[in-house]
Structure 1
């Protein structure tokens, strides 16, 4: 008996495996072709990236960095600065980006915020827009001494503090009013200033005195001082004391009136603020016996009358209060709550001592703040 298939019949199992092998062969061939194409594509892309990045970075950058462009710098010099700071990869890429810019590129002197490893064209776009210049602003609050101002200015401008202490001695160049008698303390007006590129200490101080004169003219300071029978210099001294002795405009005007009352009666001012200035100890509220006994013309516990000059650089509010005092019969004042700025007034020494007791109680309740 013969098997299930005759010799003429085709074995279906052989046909099945033949088709499977053919399909696998096709798949493998396609895989080789696709893999080769991917491989070639990767290589082409790598070659393109290598070509493009040979002289230039490709991205938006990595780390923020401030770069200063000096006055009069050429394209080559600016490019060199960027290369030195690792902003752009090469001078060649930077110059090409300048040439290829759709608009004429003008780079102004100043400080710019850029990034390391930047595409040169992106760096040029930032430098070409003056709005991207980073300006240095410094705020000098009211009531600071010159020395305190100089510390702040030195930190903000990276200029040595010694530059300011030397510049302030050039009184003939500061632009002080005649009635300053070449004494700059009190005339360096406190404000927020925008510092120019490559600043000088003298230039900054000149800007401050220029602003002082502007405020003096706006307030008619000298005219108002004359109206209350004070010289403008003495009124400025009073304003400098008010910055330390009172907070609100109302209190400044009352304290100014008390100061003039005491001066008229020949009483010593006994201002702790002047004593602290004499001892070179700003930032405190009270004085010690030793400080009050320290010999100095600025010590108003020892000497009657005003100190010989301002003890701070006052703002417009204190200057206005000094020439428009509130008239009262008070002869004493004391701040009873320094945090709130509460000030108590008295006509007699006994009343004043009761107010002083309130201040001392506040200090006991707020250790380390007096």
Structure 2
């Protein structure tokens, strides 16, 4: 009797052990399958960023991932994406790829739209359409779309500008912005930065010299064109303010060069002074209708805090140091101008 009972228990134990072993194998297989699908390193690192264009669906994203060899196992990515319901939650953007990233982490990043911003830096950009080209290399919007907005009277008027002076809105600096930014959102972001820049202090200084922020920036663009050395900017700004206050023409060579649309000119000649353009300050009194380049922050602040003096003439120094000789009388200015013209002749600079 005892032996039979022992044999019976042994059989039950064996069955339990076998069942337990089977369950362990099933669980282990499930765990391994789960690991392989979601956690096994899959991102190759073949490219640094995955760009998902606005309007893309899951099939577009999957096609890009396959063509760019983004993952080692595209099938496991596809299955994981379906299980995680990514197909209906595709978000445009620029996503940094980390080598060895598993499908779960990768897909969660895409679902959440956790993209990395791009850095846009600009300064000393002469023309607004040049800026549009530069920016279009950093964001999804193309240069044509950006330029169309800048040239749209109806659009820029909503922000207090016209198509001539809208370029004063762009404050040279470095900005972080998302890659999938369209032209209008880019404009809105730059306007927000413009509003921040023109704080109460700067507005008060502009009002104190009887200029609007736009007029300050237009004058600053001329100061930028004249000054090779930033520390000379307040004096140059003061000279032009003196001319404005006296009702004199600014007679600024950089405006003539802009009017000629020839930025290779090194010597302004009489024929240049006769160019019929609203930007030619030898022919027109007051400020030109818009900036002749993107004004720098230093130049804007130089205008706002311009140096008080009685100079109304200046001429580049004959030593080509980049500095200027200043004069309060025409006779003294003519002496300075003659010295500079002789220096140009000696160096055979004819145009």
1:252-303 deviation line (CA, Å, top 9, x unaligned): 2111111121223333211111112222234655434332211012111122
The alpha carbon displacement at 1:245 in A equals 1.4
Instruction: State the alpha-carbon separation in 1 of the partners of residues 184 and 118 from structure 2.
Output: 17
Residues 1:217 and 2:217 aligned together: no
By how many angstroms is 1:342 displaced?
Answer: 2.2
SS at match of 1:192: strand
Picking from 203, 218, 234, the partner of 1:237 is: 218
Cα RMSD between the aligned structures? 4.0
- Equivalences for residues 39-78 of structure 1 within 5 A: 61=44, 63-64=46-47, 66-70=49-53, 78=61
Give yes or no for contact 1:254–1:325 (8 Å, CA) kept in 2. Answer: yes
Partner of 1:93: 76
| In structure 1, C-alpha distance between the alignment counterparts of 2:349 and 2:104, rounded to whole Å | 54
Number of equivalences: 306
The 1:60/1:92 distance shift into structure 2, 3 A limit, reads closer
- Measured in 2, the distance between the counterparts of 1:312 and 1:200 equals 24
- Comparing 306-315 with 208-217, which one deviates more in the overlay? 306-315
1:336 aligned to which of 317, 324, 327 = 317
Matched, 1:136 2:112: no
Report the CA distance shift for 1:292/1:197 in structure 2 as closer, same or farther (over 3 A): same
Please state if 1:197 is matched with 2:179. Answer: yes
Which blocks of at least 5 consecutive residues in structure 1 are unaligned? 1-52
* Equivalent position SS for 1:345: strand
Q: CA shift at 1:181, angstroms?
A: 5.2
Question: Could you tell me how far apart the structure 2 residues matched to 1:72 and 1:258 are?
Answer: 54
Instruction: Report the alpha carbon displacement of residue 330 of structure 1 after superposing the two structures with TM.
Output: 0.9
Cα distance, 1:236–1:73 mapped onto 2, change above 3 Å: closer
Counterparts of 2:178 and 2:74, CA distance in 1: 28
Query: Which aligned pairs between 1:1-370 and structure 2 lie closer than 5 A?
Result: 61=44, 63-64=46-47, 66-70=49-53, 78-95=61-78, 109-114=92-97, 122=102, 125=105, 133-142=115-124, 144-157=126-139, 159-174=141-156, 177-178=159-160, 180=161, 183-221=165-203, 223-282=204-263, 284-336=265-317, 341-356=322-337, 359-360=340-341
Helix, strand or coil: the match of 2:138? helix
User: Which deviates more, 70-79 or 211-220?
Assistant: 70-79
* Gap change, CA 1:362 and 1:82, over 3 Å in 2: farther
- Cα distance, 1:134 vs structure 2: 4.4
Rg (Cα) greater in structure: 1
Question: Distance between the aligned counterparts of 1:366 and 1:175, measured in 2?
Answer: 48
C-alpha distance in structure 2 between counterparts of 1:280 and 1:322, whole Å = 25
Q: CA deviation at 1:150?
A: 1.7
Q: Does the 8 A contact of 1:175 with 1:209 survive in 2? A: no
Secondary structure at the counterpart of residue 288 of structure 2: coil
1:185 partner SS = helix
Q: Closer, same or farther in 2 for the Cα pair 1:136/1:358, shift >3 Å? A: farther
After TM superposition, the score normalised by the length of structure 2 is 0.70
Larger CA deviation: 244-253 vs 92-101: 92-101
Displacement of 1:77: 6.0
C-alpha displacement of 1:358: 5.5
C-alpha distance after superposition, 1:6-31 (max 9, x if no partner): xxxxxxxxxxxxxxxxxxxxxxxxxx
**CA 1:108 to 1:202, structure 2 compared with 1: closer, same or farther past 3 Å?**
closer
For residue 139 of structure 1, give the secondary structure of its aligned residue in structure 2. strand
Q: Distance in 1 between matches of 2:341 and 2:115?
A: 51
Unaligned runs of 5+ in 2: 1-35
- Other structure's SS at 1:267 match: coil
